[in-house]
Amino acid sequence: MKKRIGVLALQGDFEAHVKSFVRAGADAVEVRTASELDCVDGLVIPGGESTTMLKLLHYMDMMEPVRAFAAAKPVFGTCAGAILLAKEVTNPSQESFGVVDLTVQRNAYGRQNDSRVVHIAPDADFLSRTAEGEIEAVFIRAPIIRRVGPGVKVLAGYAGNPVLVEEGNILIATFHPELTKDSRVQSLFLGKI
């Protein structure tokens, strides 16, 4: 039976995530209400604009349901999703779900024209759970993880900073794996379910 992944579809590049998880062999659906969380095995919080997402999450009464989901089931946050899952957010500080022991600095790599595509070498633990080789990482106005708590495992880094981390049932990428044809990060997340 296919794993059913929900992609929070309030704002951001949720359609690319749906397609990337279908390529990885999952059933992927868009999630816009708290009741739809009951129908999925894992949740993706996509990239986009974290302040706008927060406003929409409050407007749709989704803050507490998503927080409760993250306490019980796997969640994968990319870019803005990484910001929303971190315990501490800077530049400027803002509200978050606070479920992963990280400090994340918003837009730390610079403006839109500072966006880049690079290849990163994942650690041995990532490689032991997926196929070998570097990961293509697309950074778009990406945040930087400035502090990692003792329970957080760094799976890959770039320019001296963690860019792919996990803590318990939560996986975080500061880049956009959904914008490449490589499905190993999605497969890693599916392995948590």
Kindly name the residue from 17, 166, 167, 176 that is annotated as catalytic. 176
Report the interhelical angle of 50-59 vs 63-72 (nearest 10°): 100
Cα dihedral 93, 95, 98, 102, rounded to 10, equals -20
SS3 per-residue string spanning 122-142: ECHHHHHHCCCCCEEEEECCC
For the chain, domains (ranges, CATH) are 4-190 (3.40.50.880)
Q: Is 176 a catalytic residue?
A: yes
Nearest to 116 by CA among 174, 36, 43: 174
Nearest to 46 by CA among 186, 161, 190: 186
Kindly name the residue from 17, 166, 167, 178 that is annotated as catalytic. 178
Q: Among 19-23, 113-117, 131-135, 166-170, which stretch is predicted with the lowest mean pLDDT?
A: 113-117
The pLDDT-based confidence of 173 (bands split at 50, 70, 90) is very high
The pLDDT-based confidence of 22 (bands split at 50, 70, 90) is very high
User: 23 pLDDT exceeds 80?
Assistant: yes
Residues 6+ apart with CB under 8 A from 160: none
> What is the tens place of the pLDDT at every residue in 60-117?
999 999 999 999 999 999 999 999 999 999 988 999 999 999 999 987 665 555 577 8
Q: Is 119 a catalytic residue?
A: no
Place of tokens 């990885």: 24
Q: Is 134 a catalytic residue?
A: no
Q: How many CB atoms lie within 10 A of CB 148?
A: 17
Cα dihedral 32, 162, 105, 102, rounded to 10, equals 70
Kindly name the residue from 17, 79, 166, 167 that is annotated as catalytic. 79
Nearest to 173 by CA among 124, 116, 104: 104
Q: Tell me the percentage of the chain whose pLDDT exceeds 70.
A: 96
